[in-house]
Amino acid sequence: MKHPIRSSRFPQPRVLACALASCLAFAAAPAAFAQGTAATVRGQVTTGSGPAASAEVVATNIATGLVRRVQSNANGTYSLAGLPPGTYRVDVSGDGATSSKTVVLQVGQVATLNVPLESAAPDVASMDTVTVTADALVETKTSEISTYITQKQIDAIPQVNRNFLAFADTVPGVIFSQNTDGTTKLRGGGQNSNGVNVYIDGVGQKNYVLKGGITGQDGSRGNPFPQSAIAEYKVITQNYKAEYDQLSSAAITALTKSGSNEWHGDAFFDYTDQDWRATRPAEAAGSGKVDTQDKQYGASIGGPLIKDKLFIFASYEYKNIITPAEVTPGENFPVSLLPPEAQNLVGATSTPFEEDLYFTKLTWTPDDKNLFELTGRYRVEDDVQGNTGVNTTPFASTKHQEETRGDLRWQYTSGDWLNDAHLTFEDSTYEPRPSLLTGYGIRLLDYTAGGDGRAVLNYGAGPNYQRKGQKGWGLQDDVTYSGFTWAGNHTIKAGFKYKEIEISALEQQPYSPQFFYDAYGDLSTPTRVTFGVPVPGTNPNVVTTAKQFGLYVQDDWEVNAKLTLNLGIRWDYEKVPSYLDYQPRPELAAALRNWANLNNADYNIEDYIGNGNRKAFKDAFQPRLGFSYDLFEDQRHVIFGGAGRSYDRNLFDYLALERSKGSYPAYTFRFNTPEHPCDTTQSTCLAWNPSYYNPANLAPLVAANPNLGGEINLMNNDLKTPYSDQFSFGMRNTVTMFGIDWNTSATLSHVLSHDGIVFTLGNRWPNGSFHNNPSFTWGNQPWGQPIPGYGTLIIADNGIETRTNSVLLSLEKPYTQDSGWGVTFSYTYTDAKENRLNAAINDEHYLFDVANLDNQPFYRSVGIPRHRLVATAIVDGPWDVTYSAKATFASPTTKDATNCYDAANGNACFFDPFTPEGTFGTKQIDIAATKYWHVDDRISLRFRADVLNLFNTYNWNDYETWRGFVGDANANFGQRNGYGITTPTRTFKLSVGASF
């Protein structure tokens, strides 16, 4: 199944040279490190007589020897920004006195270290021989709602998939979920996964084309980055500063590992299979376990090429997964009534997956003012997806993904100035293909409920054929100045980003003809066929070069020892020519303007007919305000809060439909059979002929009018960019219980998201109505009223909104080597609402039951638990064994449902979501134990065992959502109706590793 690895494609040398020259020119001004990952240590230097002006503060990285220095100002305050996170010795000297302290700085941390100068000089050991005992500084004076994920947590907390994003699940307000097919998703609050962004070494990983927030996370079982290359990261739930762009939900800023002055390496091998897990419910009800496997291995190494100057780090990880899946006929259809060739395709099955991840990083520190980094990443994965539910394995898709990213960084620092410049490159492709590229699809339907039938089973050749991606370069520069002391101390940050990204979307669906049959009727004669044929003179491959530009300025203002204000604003702008320049073909525009059904419609078709001169959205101004107030000037009791706006972006996958749907339309023809007659006066009603199984005999059916029946998608000419408004108020405390310091946080959060894209049916009845009767509020949509000479019209507007109120509580005793233990507790109460059901959990952006979202009520969000508690523990036991555990508890989530039972008639149904009763919701307890064996002073081995879902709890997912019809209740409504579960059965995983 492995695809050949294509050679990576990079910009032309001349383009790279020009871009690099621009990058260096911007960086040459005095000023370094993307503020997203760099740490800052600041505070006040004092002597017995008061503030110490002009004291020299020198921070030296213990591992690499990197040195940064600054002088305190007139009131004794100092700020050292742009420090790569790690362990530092901070030496301070002034007025004939000195002080030295070793501290740990975390990713993106702004830590406070006040230094009282001593009269005697400290005894400083050689950097080569010092045994470091460092204090981890705790960041409390920030308006951000943020949590740090440390290397110890990444190494110890139980997990199977080695996706570093999984640990964000331990943060209040953030959910990392793994679906039954193994795909993963990261969400924040009541918004969908599209709103998140991940910054690796200060560079955003945003997906401009597909869902999932970042590249490679749209329906993938893979990992976006090798976990062995992640040093630590910070999860910012809310109140991120103005430097963060292209997101409306949670932000993650991650730091990769670097080489140091000592060579270190690590290798691992993880394994589990069907013999090491409990039987799944579907397997117990069928013929037993299917073969499954999760095999992962990799290695990393880092060290000095030139001591104190040049370092290298490299890592590789491989993943091979065989995931169990269940194929179950829909509508409770008996397997015995299926065709013989289909019966063997039903039941437990599995899906294979492979992934390779590569990462390399060179770090050069020629002096104490400059830092250069060159990083490269390559990812390739192949997957089989879709063989679950009513879709059989032959009907599934084979998906290939490939991603290459590069980043050249120059950091320059001089006194109070700091500058960080990045030149980036990215190339990401997403290519699903039908598992069977020839033949046709067979779709069995249950017509007993009327209409066009409900799916029973799909086999044969599937319809999914896509090729989508993004490729291009970017330049970003961030400047920090910390020497401004008017009315307190100011840290001024400003920056810009410019990117040119070629984005593309090719979608040909259905790629193979799809024939539909009555599962209870004549299986030798289909009831209809759907197929696709390119429209002559058009190109379904939509390619354009997007230009993105962003500016921001931020003032972190320490008004006094208690009050800190964070005042920032950013502005983002994007041009997507394929959307801005779009003009429908003249004959289509004429058909739309002359469509009599729209004369009395509730919308103006001119709002959707592009004139080739649409305007890009220019109003993405984003004020971001925050404060923190240290009650007693000891960083132990801090009140904080903030308000801000954050703009995301419109996915190109949606924007491209305007061109692609009109280029490769899907046509449907019905066959006039005794059981399912059609209107023979219509050109789309045919007598059945077995020759139609050959696609070559279907194409002539539409040759005379290639637009007949083809779906047309049109975007609003004035599309806006999705955004969220965020408000919070909370308090952090460091409290001492039983002689131990505990960090606590309590926050009230309110988030409103706006302007998500929704696609609705543009067809109208001849009288201009949507339901063809003023008293109708449901059903009777004008599907049979197409654009004259064309097909169905789908229009896209801004309209999807969510409203989320949350209570975020956390309690943490950080792990330290001295204590040998650490615990975290994270509780989230979420009251989430949405005006389009499934918008948050599944990004549902189509709405065909009503005309639009105008006056639609807000429903409790589907799939988001009201209560959620996650707890973790790490304990060092005797005999060099480390024990760890993670417990997740969540209340039942709301399910999507339509209520026709309580309706006055069949044309008065309404959306009516429900929460299953008699179920706990989600409960999962995972444990792990790691035994370390030190071969000598340099080499150690480890053996680890993980047990996921220790008590083998079934967290059920499938429930009956049909309430019944007008007075005729469904007795099974709300009851479990399948074998789907949301978490793995009890699974044992064994790991071995070695490090030096």
Q: pLDDT of 352-396, one tens digit each?
A: 999 999 999 999 999 999 999 999 999 999 999 888 889 999 999
Residue 48 confidence (pLDDT): 79
Residues 6+ away with beta carbon under 8 Å from 499: 424, 472, 473, 474, 475, 546, 547, 548
pTM as predicted = 0.90
What is the per-residue pLDDT for 574?
A: 97
Q: Which of these, 385, 394, 399, lies nearest to 443 by C-alpha position?
A: 394
Q: Closest Cα partner for 906 from 497, 586, 451? A: 451
DSSP state of 690: G
| Residue 23: per-residue pLDDT | 35
Query: Which residues does residue 814 pair with via DSSP β-bridges, in sequence order?
Result: none
Chain centroid offset of residue 962 CA: 31
Arithmetic mean of pLDDT, 206-212: 95
Residues 6+ away with beta carbon under 8 Å from 918: none
Average pLDDT over residues 566-595: 96
Mean pLDDT across the stretch 954-969? 90
Place of tokens 């354009």: 544
Cβ neighbours for 545, distance < 8 A, ≥ 6 positions apart:
472, 500, 501, 502, 503, 577
Q: What are the structure tokens assigned to 533, written together? A: 């044929």
Categorize the per-residue pLDDT at 300 as very low, low, confident or very high, splitting at 50, 70 and 90. Answer: very high
**Rounded percentage of the chain residues whose pLDDT exceeds 90:** 71
Q: Looking at the predicted structure, is the pLDDT value of residue 529 above 80?
A: yes
Encoded tokens for 792: 């169905």
User: Given this model, what pLDDT does residue 135 score?
Assistant: 65
Q: Which residue has the higher pLDDT, 952 or 129?
A: 952
| 575 DSSP β-pair partners | 547
Q: Look at residue 561 and tell me whether its pLDDT is greater than 70.
A: yes
Number of helices and strands in the chain (H, E): 9, 52
List the one residue out of 327, 354, 357, 348 whose CA is nearest residue 277. 348
Which residues have CB under 8 Å from 250's CB, separation 6+? Answer: 168, 173, 174, 186, 187, 188, 189, 195, 196, 235, 236, 237, 238
Tell me the DSSP string of 156-210: HS--SS--GGGGGGGSTTEEEEE-TTS-EEEEETTS-GGG-EEEETTEE-B-SSS
Residue 558 tokens read as: 């320490």
Q: Where are the alpha helices (DSSP H) in 529-585?
A: 577-580
Distances (CA, A) of 174 to 126, 171, 988: 44, 6, 26
Tell me how far CA of residue 469 lies from CA of 11, 245, 428, 551, in angstroms: 16, 20, 5, 26
Pairing of the two strands 441-446 and 514-518: parallel
Q: Is 433 helix (H, G, I), strand (E, B) or coil?
A: strand
Residue type, 445: L
Are 995 and 265 in contact by the 8 Å Cβ rule? The answer is yes
Give the integer Cα–Cα distance in Å for 732 and 739.
19
- Select from 986, 960, 955 the least CA-distant residue to 179: 955
| Buried residues in 106-135 as b, exposed as e (16+ CB within 10 A) | bbbbbbbbebebeeeeeeeeebeeeeeebe
Closest CA to 327 of 347, 307, 302: 347
Q: Which residue has the higher pLDDT, 16 or 939?
A: 939
> pLDDT value at position 449?
75
How buried is 637 (Cβ within 10 angstroms: 0-12 exposed, 13-18 middle, 19+ buried)? middle
DSSP per-residue string spanning 832-865: EEESSTTHHHH---EE-SSS-STTPPPEEPBT--
Record the tokens describing residue 94, joined without a space: 């002034």
- Sign of the dihedral defined by the CA atoms of residues 133, 36, 363, 427, in that order: positive
* Gyration radius of the chain's alpha carbons: 30
- pLDDT band at 6, cuts 50/70/90? very low
pLDDT band at 21 (very low <50, low <70, confident <90, very high): very low
Q: Which helix (H) or strand (E) holds 341?
A: helix 340-343
Q: Letter for the amino acid at 918?
A: G
- How far is residue 561's CA from residue 635's CA, in Å, rounded to a whole number? 10
* Amino acid identity at 284: A
CB 373 within 8 A of CB 409: yes
C-alpha closest to that of 642 among 717, 739, 529, 751: 751
The pair of three-digit structure tokens given for residue 169, joined into one six-digit string: 């699940």
User: Looking at residues 622-633, what average pLDDT do you find?
Assistant: 96
Question: Taking residues 816-841, what's their average pLDDT?
Answer: 94
Q: How far apart are CA 293 and CA 353, in angstroms?
A: 10
Pick the CATH number of 31-137 from 3.60.15.10, 2.60.40.10, 1.10.1740.10, 2.30.40.10: 2.60.40.10
- Vertex 597 angle, CA 594 and 601, to 5°: 110
The continuous run of DSSP H or E covering 551 comes out as: strand 541-558
> Which among 267, 144, 205 is positioned nearest to 730, based on CA atoms?
144
User: 420 is written with which tokens?
Assistant: 């960080």
pLDDT of residue 133: 56
What is the pairing mode between strands 397-414 and 454-460? unpaired
Token pair in block for residue 617: 């959205």
The pLDDT confidence band at residue 119, using thresholds 50, 70 and 90, is low
The average pLDDT across 570-577 equals 98
Contacts of 881 (CB under 8 A, 6+ apart): 929, 930, 931, 932
Measuring CA to CA, which residue among 337, 380, 410, 513 is closest to residue 8? Answer: 380
Is the predicted pLDDT of residue 136 greater than 80, yes or no? no
Specify burial of residue 700 (Cβ count, 10 A radius: 0-12, 13-18, 19+): exposed
Q: Look at residue 305 and tell me whether its pLDDT is greater than 70.
A: yes
800 and 836 Cβ atoms separated by less than 8 Å: yes
List the structure tokens of 67: 């040195």
Q: How far are the Cα atoms of 228, 262, 377 from residue 256, in angstroms, in the given order? A: 9, 17, 11
Closest to 360 in 3D by CA, of 280, 257, 273: 257
pLDDT at 3: 41
Q: Which of 938, 843, 918, 862 is nearest to 212 (CA)?
A: 843
* Segment (H or E) for 811: strand 793-813
Q: Is residue 26 helix, strand or coil?
A: helix
**What's the rounded mean pLDDT across residues 201-226?**
93
SS3 percent helix, strand, coil of the chain, rounded to 5, is 10, 50, 40
Q: List, for residues 47-105, the tens digit of each pLDDT value.
A: 877 888 888 999 999 999 889 889 888 888 888 888 888 899 999 988 888 888 899 98
- Mean model confidence pLDDT for the chain: 90
Confidence grade of residue 738 (pLDDT, cut at 50, 70, 90): confident
pLDDT of residue 18: 40
- Output the six-digit token pair for 541: 């491959």
Residue 709 has pLDDT above 80, yes or no: no
Separation of alpha carbons 403 and 664, rounded Å: 27
Q: Find the largest Cα–Cα distance for the chain.
A: 103
Q: What is the pLDDT of residue 662?
A: 85
| SS3 assignment, position 526 | coil
Q: For residues 411 and 407, what is the distance between their CA atoms, to the nearest angstrom?
A: 13
Asked whether the beta carbons of 710 and 728 are under 8 A apart, the reply is no
Q: Is the pLDDT of residue 213 over 60?
A: yes
Q: Which residues pair with 303 in a beta bridge?
A: 312
Joined tokens for residue 366? 């020629």
Q: Are 890 and 865 in contact (CB under 8 A)?
A: yes
| pLDDT of 707 higher than 80 | no
